[in-house]
Amino acid sequence: MDGTRMLFAYSSVNGSTAEIARSIALTFSRTGMDVDVVPVAGVQGVRLYQAVVLGSAVYGGKWRAEAVEFLDRLAKDLLDRDVWLFQSGPLGHSAQSIFRALPVNVSMRAECLRVKSVATFGGKLDQNQGGPMGHFLARAGFACDYRDFAEIRLWAEEIARVTATQSAFVRSGGARLVRAGSSR
């Protein structure tokens, strides 16, 4: 282990966002970092971690309330750390290529925290999932797995590289680069 500890927090109703978080964390653990993958509600604090990756499923155009609450509750300590966000939700075969902005309430918080980057990944819908709207979507042909794990791995590798560089710099005695300016 290289001494870097990463938190992967997620909010997921039906498990597909949790699987994305675990997949991203696996990429980090392969580089020798310690990883904790935890539902947002179970996170008491972030001080143990060098950096945080937060992901939320999107329902009705919104992030899950507990994920937004996570950003507010831990804002003070998140400000001192590198933070990456991802959202999971678009359904349909163009899901991977569609650019999706963050919901406004999340983008305001992301701006304040100066998050490093944001990714949107396709979602997954099973038959008989998601209540009446889920059934409607399933009948319309959207019950499928639109997650692209190759794309997810590329994003994970990119942010793992940034984290490893940052950690090596700090270990060599340098100050954290975080608030240095335009890289965010």
Ligand X SMILES: Cc1cc2nc3c(=O)[nH]c(=O)nc-3n(C[C@H](O)[C@H](O)[C@H](O)COP(=O)(O)O)c2cc1C
List interacting residues with ligand X (CB under 6 A): 12-17, 57-61, 88-91, 123-125, 130-131, 133-134, 137
115: left (phi over 0), alpha (psi -120 to 50) or beta: beta
Closer CB to ligand X, 67 or 78, in the complex = 67
Q: In the bound complex, what is the minimum distance in angstroms from residue 3's beta carbon to ligand X? A: 31
Closer CB to ligand X, 138 or 156, in the complex = 138
Tokens of residue 159, six digits: 């942010």
Q: In the bound complex, what is the minimum distance in angstroms from residue 16's beta carbon to ligand X? A: 3
Tokens of residue 114, six digits: 């100066």
Q: How far is CA 7 from CA 127, 154, 166, 182, in A?
A: 32, 18, 16, 24
Closer CB to ligand X, 132 or 173, in the complex = 132
The residue of the chain with the least Cβ separation from ligand X equals: 130
Q: In the bound complex, what is the minimum distance in angstroms from residue 65's beta carbon to ligand X? A: 13
Closer CB to ligand X, 120 or 166, in the complex = 120
Q: In the bound complex, what is the minimum distance in angstroms from residue 184's beta carbon to ligand X? A: 25
| Contact (Cβ atoms closer than 8 angstroms) between residue 70 and residue 54 | yes
Terminal-residue alpha carbon distance, the chain: 27
Closer CB to ligand X, 14 or 117, in the complex = 14
Q: In the bound complex, what is the minimum distance in angstroms from residue 122's beta carbon to ligand X? A: 8
Identify which of 51, 60, 21, 62 has the alpha carbon closest to the alpha carbon of residue 39. 21
